Amino acid sequence: MSEVQTLISHTLCPYVQRAAIVLSEKSAPFDRIYIDLADKPEWFQKASPLGKVPLLKTGEGRYLFESAPIVEYLDETQPGRLHPDQPVERARHRAYVEFASQVLNGIGSLYNAKHKQDFEAAKAALRLNFCHLEEQIDPEGPFFAGDPFSLVDAAFAPVFRYFDVLDDFVDLKVLDGLENTEKWRQHLAKRPSVVTAVAETYQEDLRAFLRRRDSWLSYLLNQSDIAASATAKH
């Protein structure tokens, strides 16, 4: 039996989700510890030199940090490889895992934009990224490279999860007309490892986080809440 590993987590972190998805795909037993990044415990600060999650405490008691090396380590040490065998294709997959990180940065720009003009610019940049991605996805699906679930899928599932919440109150049109991307998104949303990568409170936790950003997206969410409240009263 595999030794139990511990994933040090934050409820909303998409990079933690990557690691949780890979652990589940590997059927590797693991525990989770959630920490408050605004009040980091001393042991965490010693184990995480960058002060970020995820951390993975291995069965040998060593701490690994940063999601990319964590998922690579899991792929190398747990049965059921998620990276392609062919070196060029494997390098391509690593590049699109990094591309997913850049898309996450773009989502951060979207929810941090203070003004409508900056919000629209962030939206346009995300649209360009997804238009590029549309041409890279295997149209036969169900996943990025066809039938096998890969580390690219683990990296993009948390990206699409943001839109599951955003779509409730703003019509971004970022994914409009991108059929391959939308099919991929829907398949990922049903994958058990993706479903269980977050707590049941994730959607409301994310909405609460967005309300606190003092951004244009916060304004749109608050307006949606006001409209929903008014409708409910009638």
CB-CB neighbours of 31 under 10 Å: 10
State the amino acid at position 84 in one-letter form.
P
Q: Per residue in 153-194, pLDDT tens?
A: 999 999 999 999 999 999 999 999 999 999 999 999 999 999
What share of the chain has pLDDT > 70, as a percent? Answer: 98
Average the pLDDT over 98-121 and give the result. Answer: 98
Report the mean per-residue pLDDT for the chain.
95
Please list, in sequence order, all residues whose beta carbon lies within 8 angstroms of the beta carbon of residue 224, skipping any fewer than 6 positions away: 168, 169, 170
Residue 40: per-residue pLDDT: 93
User: Which CATH class for the 5-77 domain?
Assistant: alpha beta
- Whether 69 has a pLDDT exceeding 60, the answer reads yes
Query: By the 8 A CB rule, do 6 and 33 touch?
Result: yes
**Domain spanning 87-195, CATH architecture:** Up-down Bundle (1.20)
The rounded distance, in Å, linking the Cα atoms of 117 and 225 is: 22
Identify whether the C-beta of residue 218 lies closer than 8 Å to the C-beta of residue 211. yes
**pLDDT given at position 2:** 59
**Per the structure block, which two tokens stand in for 205?**
């936790």
In tens, the pLDDT along 80-102 reads 999 999 999 999 999 999 999 99
Residue 19 to residue 16: CA distance in whole angstroms: 5
Domain segments of the chain: what residues?
5-77, 87-195
Report pLDDT digits (tens) over 192-213.
999 999 999 999 999 999 999 9
The answer to whether the CB of 103 falls within 8 A of the CB of 131 is no
- Residue 205 CA to residue 207 CA, distance in Å, equals 5
More confident position, 59 or 232: 59
Quick one: pLDDT at residue 1?
41
Task: Please give the Cα distance from 82 to 103 (Å, whole number).
Answer: 21
What integer pLDDT is reported at residue 229 of this predicted model?
A: 75
31 DSSP β-pair partners: 6
Give the model's pLDDT for residue 233: 67
Q: Is the pLDDT of residue 44 over 60?
A: yes
